[in-house]
Amino acid sequence: MSLELLLFLILALIAIASALGMLLSRHAVYAALFLVLNFATVAVFYLLLNAPFIAMAQITVYAGAIMVLFIFVIMLLGTEVLPPSPVLPWQRPLAFLLALGLLAESVYLLFFRQRLTLSLPATIDPFSGPKAIGQALFTGYLLPFEITSILLLVAMVGAILLTRKER
Amino acid sequence: MHFSEAMPAGFFSLAPWIVFFPLLGLLVNLIFGKRLPERAIGWIASLASGAAFVVSILLALSLREHAEGTRVLLAEWIHIGNLRLDWAFRVDTLSVTMMLVVSGVGTLIHIYAIGYMHEDVRFKGDPGRYRRFFVFFNLFIVAMMILVGGDSYLMLFVGWEGVGLCSFLLIGFWYDMDTLGRPSWANSNAAKKAFVTNRIGDFGFLMAAFLMFWSFGSLNFDEVFAQAPLLAQAMPGLVIAMTLFMLLGVSGKSAQIPLYIWLPDAMAGPTPVSALIHAATMVTAGVYLIARSAPLYVTVPAAQYLVALLGATTALFAATIAVGQYDIKKVLAYSTISQLGFMVAAVGMGAFVAGMFHLVTHAFFKALLFLSAGSVILGLERGHHHLAHATHHGKEHDPHAHAEVFDPGDMRNMGGLRKRMPVTFWLYLIGTLALAGIFPFAGFWSKDEILADAFREGYQAVYWLLTIAAFFTAFYMGRQIWLVFFGEARHEAAAHAQESPWIMTAPLMVLAALSVLGGALNLPGLHSLTSWLEHTLEMVHPGEFIFPVAALSTVLALLALGLSWWVYGRRPLVAGQVDPLKQAFGPLFIALENKWYVDEGYWAVFVNRYIALARWLAEKVEWAFWHEWFHDTVLVSGFNFLSQKVLHLRLDRQVVDAFFDGLATLTGRIARRLSPLQNGFVRSYALMVLSGVVLILGYLLLKG
Amino acid sequence: MIPLAWYIALSAVLFTIGALGVLVRRNPLVIFMSIELMLNSANLAFIAFSHAFGALSGQVFVFFVMAVAAAEVAVGLALIVAIFRTKHTINVDEMNSLKG
C-alpha cells in the first residue's frame, strides 16, 4: 500500500463521513459545517487530481461564498428542529432502499462490468494550471463564459426581487 | 333522281324561308304581341303565312324550268360515322305541291281566323287568348313546312311531331271548358286523346325509321329509295314490315282505322283549327308520307294492297258514321276521315297522283266546308247573344248566365239559315257539291280519278267500298244542307242568326272558287298534275277517264242527294222531332249515332284494361307490394332490426360502447388509484425520480 | 497510483448520500446542501476523468457547474426566505400545494 493510496483512503473516509454527518445531523448548522468539511476534502482531491485552479475555486466559491450564504440564511430563519413527520411514513425506508440499490448498481458497474483499470498519477502538470484554464475559458469557451455571467446577473436580480419586501 | 349539290338555280335558295317567314311571324307576335292591337296580330300571322305562300309560288316557278328539283342545305345536323343527316330542304314537285296547299289554304284560314277568333274569344269570355291562337297557328305552319320540306325521314319526323304538338295545343285551346263553354276538362281530354292516339302512330313511324336505318344505314329519301328495290328482292319481309309500321303512323296522323278515333274529338278546337289542321293539311301528312315513300311501297304489292283496303274500309266506315251525327262539325270530321280514306286508298293502289289530286281538292272544299260551318256556328252564337241582350237588356250582359245551355253546333238547333245567312249558304252549297262529287266541281274530278284507277288497276273490293262510301258522302252532305239551311228555324238563336263579316266570307269565296275550279289541275286528257308530279314520282302514269265509272258515281251521288231531300227536305224537321232515319231504322241508326260504339269498344278492350292494369300496378304492385310490404315491412323492419337489435344493442351497446365505457371506467379506476401519488410533496416526487433512475439503470445493466 | 474507478466510486457514494439527503430530510436548507453535495460529487467525477484523459474541458465544465450552483443557491435561498415570510415555516411537509 503506497502513500498515495493511504492518503486517498483517509481522505475518502473523511469525505464520506462528513457527507453522512451532513445527512444525519439534526441541526442545519451542523449540517452546514459537515458540508464545509466535505467540500474541503474534495478540494484536496482536486489537488491530487492535478486541478489546482478548481481546488482553489472550490474553497473560495463553495466552502466560502455558498456555505457562508447558507449559514447566513440559517441565522436569518433560525434553526428549526422539525418534529417527526406524520406524512409520507414510507418515504424514509423506501429512500434508503433505493439509495442502497443505486449504490449497489454503481459498484457493480464500476468494479464488475467496466473494469476501469486506468490508474491516475498524483503529479503536478503545469499545463492544467490556472493559466491554461484561463486560456481555455477566454478562447474556446468564451460564449458559455459570457452566458454564465448573464446567469449570475439574473440570479442576483432574481434573489433581490424575491426577498424584497412588498410595498 | 339526282340533285345537284351546286348552287341552287332560280329561287330554290329561298326554300328555307318557307319555314323562316312563319317563324318570324310567330316570334314577332310572341315578343311584341302584348302591345299590338288584335287586328295587327292577326295580320302579322297572316302575312307570315302569306309570305311562305309567295315563296312556295316562287319555288314552283323555278321548278317549271328545273323540274328535277334540288336539295337546299341549311345546316349540318347529325354526322355520325356514315350517317349524315342535315337540315336540308328537298324542293321537288311533290313537296312544293304540299307547300302550296299548306301555305295557300293556311293563309286563307289565317285571314278567316282574324275575324272568327275576334268573336270566338269574346263569346268564350277570354280575349287574351287571341294572340296565343295565332302564335300556335304560325307554329303549325312552321312544323308543317318542315314536315313537307324535309329531305330525310328524320326531318319529316320533326315536322310530324311538331304538327302533332300544335294539334294538341290547338285542340286544347279552350282547355278549361267543354265545347259549349262550360267549365270542364272535356277539351283538354280531347287534346290528350289526340296526342296519345298519335303517339301510337308515331311508334309505328319510329319503328319504320329504325328499320330503315338498320337496313339502309340512312334516313335520307334518296339513299333509302335507291336501295329499296334491292332489299325488296333480298328480304321482302323487311320492307313489308317497314311499310306496315309506316302505315301505323299514317293511320295515326291521317285518322285511319284503327286510330281515327281522335279526329272527331279534335273538333273541340276552334273551327279554323279544324279546317286547317284537322281537314286540309296535317291529317293529309300521312297521305304525303306514303306518296313520298312511293318508291318503297311499289316494291311490296302486298303492303300496297293492305294500305288500299284499309283506306277504302275507313272511307266507308266513317261515311256511315257521318250519317248519324247531329253536330255540324262532327259530320265534317267523319267526312274528313272518310275522304282521307279515299286518299290513302289511292296512294295505296299506286295511284299517287290521284291521291295527291284528291288531297289538294279536298283541302279546298273541306276547308271551305269547315270554315262555312264555323260561320254558321258564329252566326248562331250572334243570334243567341242578340237574344240574350234583347231579353235581359239592362239587367245582365253575361250570356253564360242562361240556365239552358245552347249548343251552336247542333244541327237540330238550326234550320232555315238560307235566308238569314245567304252568303254562307251558297258557299256551303258549293263545298257540298264539290265533296259530293257533282260534275263539274273539283271533287268530281279527283274522286273520279281515284275510282277510275281502282277500277282499272283491278282493285275490285276497293272500288266498290269507295263507290258506296261516295254514295254515303253525298247523302250525309245533303242531309246537312237540308237540316241546316232549309225548313224553319228550330231554335230562337237560328231565327236571329246573323251573317258573318267580309273578313270571314272573303277567304271563303276564294276557297269556293278553288273548289269549283280545282278540278282543272288534272283534267282528263290534260293531266297537268300528273306531268307535274311525274318529275318526282317516276312510276306514275296518267289516269284514264272511264265513263261508266264517272257516270255511276255521279248517278249515285245525285241519287243520294235526292234521297236526302226525300228524307229531310220534303218534310223539314221541326223542333224536338226525332231524326226520320231513326224512326225508320231504329237500332241501326242509334248505332250510327254512337259511332258504331268504337270508342266504347276501345274503352272496354284497351282503356279499361289499361286503367285496370295501371290501377293494379299502382295499388297492388307499387303500393301494396313495393311500398307497404317491401319498403315498409321488409326494408324498414329489416333496417330497424339491423340497426336497433343488431347494430345498436349488440354491436354498438354491447361491443363498442361497452369497450369504451370499460376503457373510461378503467382509466378512472387507475387514476383514482394513482392520484394519491400526486400528493403534492416534492420529496415524494423526487423519490419517484430516483426509483426511475434505479430501475432504468438496473434494466440497462441487466440488458447488458 | 490510484485507480480511476475508486474516484468514481467515491463520487457515486457521495452522490447517493446527497440523493438520500434530498429524500429524507425535511429542512429545505439541508435539502439544498444535499443538492450541493450531489453537484460536488459530479464535479469530482469530472475532474477525475479530466485528469485521466488529460483533457482540460472537464475542469472548464466544473467551473461552469460552480457558477450555476452559485446562482442556484442564491435564487433558492431567496425562495426559501420568501416562503418563510408567507408560511412562517420551512417544513417541506407542509408545502403540498402542488397536489392536484
Q: Report the chain A residue with the minimal C-alpha distance to residue C23.
A: A95
Q: B465 or B397, which is more confident?
A: B465
Average pLDDT over residues B434-450: 90
Residue B402, domain member (yes or no) = no
Per cent of chain B over pLDDT 70 is: 97
Q: What is the mean pLDDT of chain B?
A: 88
> Does B635 lie in the same domain as B554?
no
**Is residue B503 pLDDT above 70, yes or no?**
yes
Are B535 and B611 in the same domain? no
In 3D space, the residue among B226, B201, B383, B354 whose CA is nearest the CA of residue B282 turns out to be: B201
pLDDT tens-digit series, residues B605-640:
888 888 899 888 888 888 888 888 888 888 888 888
What is the structure's pLDDT at A50?
83
Q: Does B675 sit within 8 Å of C92, measured CB to CB? A: no
Domain count, chain B: 2
The C-alpha of C13 sits at a distance from chain A's nearest C-alpha, in angstroms, of: 7
Any domain includes B283: yes
d(CA B515, CA B443): 8
**A95 contacts B687? CB cut-off 8 A:** yes
The domains of chain C are located at 4-89
Chain C residues within 8 A of B686 when measuring between CB atoms: 22-23
Cell of B410: 247542333
Note whether B269 and B328 are same-domain residues: yes
Please tell me which of the candidates C22, C23, C98 has its beta carbon nearest to residue B680.
C98
A119: β partners: C3
Grid coordinates representing C52 are 485521466
Question: What is the spatial distance between Cα A40 and Cα A46, in angstroms, rounded to a whole number?
Answer: 10
Distance to chain C for A72, nearest Cα, Å = 10
B613 and B561 within one domain: no
Q: Which of A11, A96, A162, A165 to mutate to test the interface with C (most CBs of C within 10 A)?
A: A162
Mutate to test the interface with C, among A66, A111, A150 (most CBs of C within 10 A): A66
pLDDT digits (tens, 9 = 90+) for C13-56: 999 999 999 988 888 888 999 999 999 999 999 998 888 888 88
| B101 found inside a domain | yes
Residue of A37, A58, A110 to mutate, testing the C interface (most C Cβ within 10 Å of its Cβ): A110
Distance from CA of C33 to the nearest CA of B (A): 15
Distance from CA of A77 to the nearest CA of C (A): 8
Return the pLDDT at B155. Answer: 92
The pLDDT of A45-72, averaged and rounded, is: 88
> Which residues in A lie closer than 8 A to residue C2 (C-beta atoms)?
4-5, 8, 48, 119-120, 122
**A5 contacts on C by Cβ (under 8 Å):** 1-2
Domain boundary pick from B546, B567, B593: B593
Least confident of B14-18, B247-251, B445-449, B528-532: B528-532
Q: Phi and psi dihedrals of B415, rounded to 5?
A: 105, 135
Whether the predicted pLDDT of B367 surpasses 90:
yes
Rounded Cα distance, B491 and C39, in Å: 134
Question: Residue B307's closest CA among B322, B321, B294?
Answer: B294
Backbone phi and psi for residue B406, each to the nearest 5 degrees, phi listed first: -100, 125
Q: Tell me the Cα Rg of chain C.
A: 17
Per-residue confidence band for B5, with pLDDT thresholds at 50, 70 and 90 = very low
Structural domain ending residue among the three candidates B560, B593, B626: B593
Q: Which residue in C51, C42, C35 sits closest to C12, CA to CA? A: C42
Q: Decide if pLDDT at B392 tops 70.
A: no
User: CA–CA separation, B350 vs A15, rounded Å?
Assistant: 139
Mean predicted confidence (pLDDT) in B364-371: 94
Are C23 and B678 an interchain contact pair (Cβ–Cβ within 8 Å)? no
Rounded average pLDDT over A53-78:
87
pLDDT of residue B85: 85
Identify the closest residue of chain B to C28 by CA–CA distance: B683
Measured between CB atoms, does A108 come within 8 Å of chain C?
no
Is residue B2 scored above 50 in pLDDT? Answer: no
Residue in chain B nearest A95 by alpha carbon:
B687
- Chain B touching partners, 3 or more CB pairs below 8 A: A, C
For the entire predicted model, the pTM comes to: 0.67
Residue A99, classed as helix, strand or coil, is helix
pLDDT at residue B674 is higher than 70: yes
Cβ contact (<8 Å) for C92 and B681?
A: yes
- B680 and C96 within 8 Å at the Cβ level: the answer is yes
Task: Give the three cell numbers for residue B668.
Answer: 378512472
Residues B362 and B412 in one domain: yes
Residues B462 and B554 in one domain: yes
Q: How many CA atoms lie within 13 A of B8 on its CB side?
A: 24
| Option in A91, A99, A102 nearest B684 (CB) | A91
Write down the pLDDT at residue B6: 47
Q: How high is the pLDDT of residue B350?
A: 87
| Average pLDDT score, chain C | 87
* B436, pLDDT greater than 70: yes
Q: Is residue B470 part of a domain?
A: yes
Q: Which residues in chain A have Cβ-Cβ distances shorter than 8 Å to B679?
A: 87-88
- Kindly list the residues from chain B whose CB atom is less than 8 angstroms away from the CB atom of residue C12: none
When pLDDT is cut at 50, 70 and 90, the band that residue A119 belongs to is: low
Whether residue B272 sits in one domain with residue B349: yes
Position A38 scores a pLDDT of 93
Query: What is the 3 state secondary structure string of B177-231?
Result: ECCCCCECCHHHHHHHHHHHHHHHHHHHHHHHHHHHHHHHCCCEHHHHHHHHHHH
Q: Both B553 and B640 in a single domain? A: no
Which CATH fold would you assign to the domain C4-89? Answer: Helix Hairpins (1.10.287)
| Residue B37 confidence (pLDDT) above 50 | yes
The yes-or-no verdict on residue B102 having pLDDT over 50 is yes
pLDDT, tens only, B317-358: 999 999 989 899 999 999 999 999 999 999 999 889 999 999
Q: How far apart are CA B454 and CA B462, in angstroms?
A: 7
State mean pLDDT over B21-44.
91
CB B528 within 8 A of CB B521: yes
Residue A120's pLDDT is 64
Contact C99 B683 (CB under 8 A): no
Determine if residue B10 is left, alpha or beta; phi over 0 gives left, psi from -120 to 50 gives alpha, anything else beta: left
Q: For residue B89, what is the DSSP state?
A: E
* B452-496 pLDDT tens trace: 989 888 888 999 999 999 999 999 999 999 999 988 888 888 888
Do both B641 and B589 map to the same domain? no
How far apart CA B122 and CA B378 sit, in angstroms, is 11
Q: Is B691 on the interface with C (CB under 8 A)?
A: no
Sorted by where each begins, the domain ranges of chain A are: 1-80+97-122, 129-167
CATH for A1-80+97-122 (1.10.1380.10, 3.50.30.30, 3.40.718.10, 1.20.120.1200): 1.20.120.1200
Q: Which single residue is written with the C-alpha cell 326554300?
A: B15
pLDDT score of B396: 46
What percent of chain B is modeled with pLDDT above 90?
45
Residue B76 has pLDDT above 70, yes or no: yes
Closest to A70 (Cβ–Cβ): which among C29, C79, C81? C29
At residue A121 the predicted structure's pLDDT band, cuts being 50, 70 and 90, is low
Q: Are residues B499 and B539 in the same domain?
A: yes
Give the single-character DSSP code of A90. Answer: T
A·B CB contacts under 8 A: 32
Q: How far apart are CA B336 and CA B319, in angstroms?
A: 9
- The last residue of a domain, from among B593, B628, B661: B593
Contacts of B281 (CB under 8 A, 6+ apart): B101, B102, B105, B106, B144, B163, B363
The greatest distance separating any two alpha carbons of chain B, rounded to the nearest whole angstrom, comes to 140
- Report the pLDDT value the prediction gives residue B404, as an integer from 0 to 100: 65
pLDDT of the residue at A130: 82
Same domain? B501 vs B622:
no
Is the pLDDT at C6 greater than 80? The verdict is yes
Dihedral in degrees, nearest 10, Cα atoms A68, A70, A71, A75: 130
The pLDDT score that the predictor gives to residue C99 is 67
Average pLDDT over residues B184-195: 91
Q: Which of B685, B689, B697 to mutate to test the interface with A (most CBs of A within 10 A)?
A: B697
> Which residues are CB-contacts of C53 (< 8 A; sequence separation ≥ 6)?
none
Task: For the beta carbon of residue B172, count every other beta carbon within 10 angstroms.
Answer: 22
Contact assignment for A54 to C21 by CB distance below 8 Å = no
- Min distance C92 CA to chain A CA atoms (Å): 10
Does residue B641 carry a pLDDT above 60?
A: yes
Domain that holds residue B664: 600-694
